[in-house]
Structure 1
Amino acid sequence: MSRSVSFNFGPELGADGTTFRFWAPGAQRVDLLLEPSKGAPLRQQFTASSDGWFETLVRGVGAGDRYRFRIDDELDVPDPASRFQPEGVTGPGQILDPHSFQWRDLRWQGRPWHEAVLYELHVGTFTREGTYRAAIRRLDDLARVGITAIELLPLNTFPGRRGWGYDGVLLYAPQPNYGHPDELKHFVQAAHERGLMVLIDVVYNHFGPEGNYVHRYAEDFFTSAHHTPWGSAINFAHPIVRQFFIQNALYWLNEYRFDGLRVDAVHAMFDDGDTHFIDELVDSVQRGPGSERRVHVVLENHHNEARRLGRKDRSMVAQWNDDFHHPMHILLTGESDGYYRNYADRPIEHLGRVLAEGFAYQGEVYQTEGHARGERSSSLPSTAFVSFIQNHDQIGNRAFGERLTKLAPPEKLRAGLAVLLLAPQVPMLFMGEEYGAVQPFLYFCDYQGDLAKAISDGRRNEFASFGAFADEHRREQIPDPNAEQTYLASQLDDEDRAEPRHREWLAYTQELLAVRAEKVVPVIPEIVAGAARYEVSSSMLTVTWPLSRGRTLVMQANFGDLPAPALGLQEGGGLPASSAREQYFSTAGASARDEELAPWEVRLSLGAP
């Protein structure tokens, strides 16, 4: 049984043949160039309409045949809604039959969002093979450790064979060297069979710089009224452009049965209309696949727009929370350059506010930008926020792609991981983090010619303002993004997991996630929104989350190198007495009666009514 639906964009197989549609208001003439798997090549002119659409029906054409479009007899381009590009961004598209894959997980309804433990995964570096099939072999390991949801970095076809996926140009076609689209469906199905949700990262704020021909035939895709780091902004005010991206989201959720989306850089999406594009996107998702099963949406949004977040029926709209990462990173590493300056004065207090209220910045002036950032978030549920201490950005945007295993002492990292995995916010691990992987995750790509040189030089010049890279010779040591070795150095090695130090770290992660699943997840729905509180004294942080039945979830953390007295244990301190609390976990093996926390100790407990 297929979960496919009809779309305006891309080829559509029918009883009479295949219909091709192409929106190209900047073209005078469009021809279909067909490369059938059997028979001679065919050229057929499209019929044009007054609104920029071109359409043609070709009989006897079906799955496996390849095609591209010729614009005004001068430029051959791929279909921007091609479903598969076996030869990459400049090659022909291949027609797929959406009914050919037989799903076995038809009863799968997703999982409640408060059960989510996310695992960010880049297919190309997750295994040495870098394929969907190879990744399937690791799913049992992830389920065993306590992961419940996988978040895949973007899969849209990008230039070459190596890349993060954020420079994709063909948004409907999965990257070919990861495997055939049916193999991606096998991956999603295999994950569901193990109780794992799968989310996909989508990029709707720009197209990549190579293999993008949209400017030539559909200039209306862009607007000069707004600019982004990648050039002119996407023109979401245009109804056809708007639908191109909304239908793309529905395509991934229906055709591939993904359980949700992570939407990249919402702050770089400009929409001056009455309904912002991202709100219409969320509504379309919830009215569509979200009306039949749990489908979640996670935003990346530097603006901290709390109004966009919260529960939508059985599903959730959440946000990647940099405000958790940044103060935690300062505490673990001592680094305070760049955007970390906004948190460096009071990192424990910022972290406390995040754990209790969602955002650290809720309208206060962001020092490095000089203006207010964020909206009030304390009334939102904890699960509206995705916390992490590592992700592809925070590792990969470092000059040498170091993980925290290279930057923070083990005792601090153990504390940071405990706060991440035991707090009621939705936690996210970056691939390999569960066993303390040491491989870097570097910025890598696969451009050619002048563009490759510009990317390599630009990458190194990005760091010229940092004191550590003021010396040109030092900057030359930064790995070349286009070098294959940069990509290979970022791949995980399965054999590492067998080493004693990695087995020990994996066991620790598994222990924390077992506590989360048994003790924390059941009470998350009981947390009273807006009632959480935090208290800071020197190196000590205490956060309390009142529950609806009178109990209180309590986290205490000592972020110092010396023992520190526990907060709130005295009469009137706001916490249940130690005798009335059930301690769930201590990183130091202490009991609830111990009135001092060891250096870098984290405790979690539940107070009785």
Structure 2
Amino acid sequence: MTDLPTWGAIPSDTGTRFRLWAPDVPEVGLCLPDGEHDMKTVGDGWFELTADAPVGTEYAFRLPDNHRVPDPASRLQAETVHGTSVVASSAHDWRHDRPDRGWHEAVIYECHIGTFTPEGTYRAAIEKLPHLADLGVTVLEILPVAHFGGDRGWGYDGVLPYAPHPAYGTPEELRELIDAAHAHGLMVLMDVVYNHFGPDGNYLHMYASRFFDPERQTPWGAGIAYAAEPVRRFFIENALYWIRDFNLDGLRLDAIDHVRDPHSDTEILIDLAREVRATVDRPVHLTTEDNRNVTHLHARDGDRVPLMTAEWNDDWHNAAHVLLTGETEGYYDAYADDPTSLLVRSMAEGFSTRGAGGKGSPSGHLPPDVFIDFLQNHDQIGNRAMGERLTVLADHDRLRAMQALLLLSPHVPMIFMGDEWDETNPFLFFAGFEGELGKAVTQGRRREFEHFKSFSASDVPDPVDPKTFERSRIDWSKAESEAGQAALARHRELLILRRERIVPMIPGTGSDCGTMLKAPALCFAVDWQLGGGRLSVRTNLSDAKADLPPADGDLIHLTGDAPGVPASTAFWIS
């Protein structure tokens, strides 16, 4: 651990220290407004210089071929990812304390800043925070904002992981959003991408080829060589930067199954989590996406979280989606044969141990708040050719029954922006790339779906067309409609019930708390023995009344006319 970050331009009272790892070149120049300065070699491929460059100073690095490149650890860009970087301050007058909430209280709202409001900015998002607090959300999860090429995109093609994208506002305005969220009792998680760099604006290969692993490719770009210490520091310090400099409550680490580190004694994900825990003296929630269904990163030590806090539970979603839509193409194929039992197992034990290639680790020993369940998210909607939501794919009554199951389970529920009023606008894949890269993205997107029989690949919306981005905005006027108000009231009532009756039961829950009970086809019955009592659920997604296992205690919720009727979900506490 170091007192100063290894990477980037760090201002102080004595000047700004600039640092770059460039092991492929013999010299590096620092370009400042007053001219060019030779940087000093300080060993192991590092170049360093402290200069009189106050906050706001633009700079770039010059390579021996006279190519000027931005700082890969830039905290702010003057304009695009191809231009000059800017010396930035992390100072902010934080006005509000972070919410004093345990992770078991989490109700996550996943949000893409650019399509969350008509303006698509941090400032506009601040105006919607009272809506989230009134709904019963406790965690705002923001899709990645690291600077990527173009002015629109999901955020997973970032090339400057330390620099918030100016399309949404300034770093200061992002801090204001986080501070305002805390004022409304909301924790804030930032989505970060440590598995690849995007295709537009990554210059590391020009001077630090050892940053990448020549033996490995991810689905999105070159694999990263995490065993190299400078590379390791780049990502660990990035996690600390977002948590400390932006006062975040935690991070969501994207697709960690592609953060592969076989050449290190300890994998980088473990080192990252340990360093965050050791250096940040407050609760920090580290959540992950990982289709391997591994459990070693999420083991608990009593009430203590040594490494990662929670994991996106794709098994829950995949089985639920098959049950609601009947779709079995793509990754849903693995859940086609018996989605009911796979969903029941996921409810009771966390994973159904499917994972990538049908593999995974048994997870029943983990407490229920390790698992983040969702009916849909940016991926599960946006990776569809037409970006449809479940509101236009599933039977309305059965969707309501599943929404109740999601929000009242002892697992952590996550909803995608607009879910709360049954939004029907699509969330499409979009990007702002231009030229040949833009054409390649359009062609590649349409090739993904050329074998689908229900539509022509030419019908797939063009991801680089600005209209595709505009169509993906949620429509806040629908929340004011009669149907929108009814959906909001339903979600609000469920989340009040969760907060008042179920959340207090979760602390102290031991291993193997879920029990699967035998039920008829398209029905599921699970009992959880939680720290504060027993929670039971009985759901019927079939077309006929079903004889479900009896449940003891007080009936606290019923979706449908009676327990066991079609499209019903009932919960009991005893």
Alignment of 1:352-367 (within 5 A): 352-361=344-353
Q: Give the alignment of 1:125-524 within 5 angstroms.
A: 125-272=115-262, 273-289=264-280, 292-311=281-300, 315=305, 317-361=309-353, 371-469=357-455, 474-524=456-506
Q: Map of 1:35-46 to 2, 5 A cutoff?
A: 35=33, 41-46=34-39
Report deviation, 1:588: 2.1
Aligned to 1:104: 95
How much is the aligned-residue C-alpha RMSD, in angstroms?
1.6
Distance (whole Å) between structure 2 residues aligned to residue 67 and residue 282 of structure 1? 32
Counterpart AA for 2:284: V
- The one-letter code matched in structure 1 to 2:501 is K
User: For the Cα contact (< 8 Å) 2:506–2:531, is it kept in 1?
Assistant: no
Q: Is this contact kept in 2: 1:112–1:314, CA < 8 A?
A: no
The correspondence for 2:84, drawn from 92, 107, 117, is 92
Match of 1:82 in 2: 74
How far is 1:561 from its partner?
1.5
Structure 2 distance, partners of 1:528, 1:543, is 16
Contact 2:526-2:538 at 8 Å conserved across structures: yes
Contact 1:114-1:524 within 8 A present in 2 as well: yes
* 1:564 matches 2:553: no
- How far apart in 2 are the matches of 1:109 and 1:556? 34
Q: Report which stretch shifted further, 558-567 or 236-245.
A: 558-567
Alpha-carbon distance in 2 for matches of 1:230, 1:493: 31
Tell me how far apart the structure 2 counterparts of residues 222 and 133 of structure 1 sit (CA, whole Å): 37
- Determine the C-alpha separation between the residues in 2 that align with 1:274 and 1:396: 37
- Whichever residue aligns with residue 178 of structure 1, its letter is Y
Structure-2 separation of matches of 1:542 and 1:440: 33
Q: Partner residue of 1:593? A: none
1:26 shift after superposition: 1.1
Distance 1:92 1:244 in 2: 20
Q: Counterpart of 1:233 in 2: which secondary structure?
A: strand
1:114 alignment counterpart: 104
- TM normalised by structure 2 equals 0.96
Given the superposition, is the C-alpha separation of residues 300 and 110 from structure 1 closer, same or farther in structure 2, using an over 3 Å criterion? Answer: farther
Once residues 206 and 347 of structure 2 are traced to their aligned partners in structure 1, the CA distance between those partners, rounded to angstroms, is 48
Aligned residues between the structures: 568
How far did 1:57 drift?
Answer: 1.5
* 8 Å CA contact 1:86, 1:176 repeated in 2: no
Instruction: Kindly indicate whether the alpha-carbon contact (under 8 Å) linking 1:323 and 1:354 is maintained by their aligned counterparts in 2.
Output: yes
Contact 1:110 1:295 in 2 (8 A): no
**CA displacement at 1:226 relative to structure 2:** 2.4
Structure 1 residue aligned with 2:31: 33
Whether the aligned pair in 1 keeps the contact of 2:58 and 2:78 (CA below 8 Å) is no
Distance 1:236 1:433, change over 3 A: same
Per-residue CA deviation, residues 233-285 of structure 1 (Å, 9 max, x unaligned), is 10011111011100000000000011111101111111112211111111111
1:336: how far off? 1.3
Structure 1 outlier segments of 4+, above 3 Å: 310-316
| Aligned residues of 1:5 and 1:254 also touching (Cα < 8 A) | no
Confirm or deny that 1:57 pairs with 2:57: no
Please give the alpha-carbon distance, in whole angstroms, between the structure 1 residues aligned to 2:462 and 2:159. Answer: 23
Does the 8 A contact of 1:546 with 1:553 survive in 2?
yes
Give the deviation of 1:314 after TM superposition.
5.1
Gaps of 5+ in 2: none
Q: Name the amino acid aligned to 1:49.
A: V
Match among 487, 509, 514 for residue 532 of structure 1: 514
Whether the 8 Å contact between 1:117 and 1:428 is mirrored in structure 2 is yes
CA offsets 1:370-395 (integer angstroms, 9 cap, x no match): x5511010100001110000100000
Whole-angstrom distance in 1 between the partners of 2:440 and 2:116:
28
Q: 1:7 aligns to what?
A: 5
Q: What secondary structure is seen at the aligned counterpart in 1 of 2:361?
A: coil
Q: Secondary structure at the match of 2:88?
A: coil
CA shift, 1:69, in A, is 0.9
Q: Percent identity?
A: 44
- Displacement, 1:307? 1.4
Paired position in structure 1 for 2:21: 23
Distance 1:458 1:110, change over 3 A: farther
Equivalent in the alignment of 2:560: 588
Asked whether 1:605 is paired with 2:572, we answer: yes
2-side partners of 1:45 and 1:138: how far apart?
48
* 2:427 counterpart letter in structure 1: F
Range with bigger deviation, 13-22 or 236-245: 13-22
- The separation in 1 between residues aligned to 2:141 and 2:37, in whole angstroms, is 41
Deviation of the 1:468 alpha carbon: 2.1
| Distance (whole Å) between structure 2 residues aligned to residue 66 and residue 589 of structure 1 | 65
Deviates more, 1:558-567 or 1:380-389: 558-567
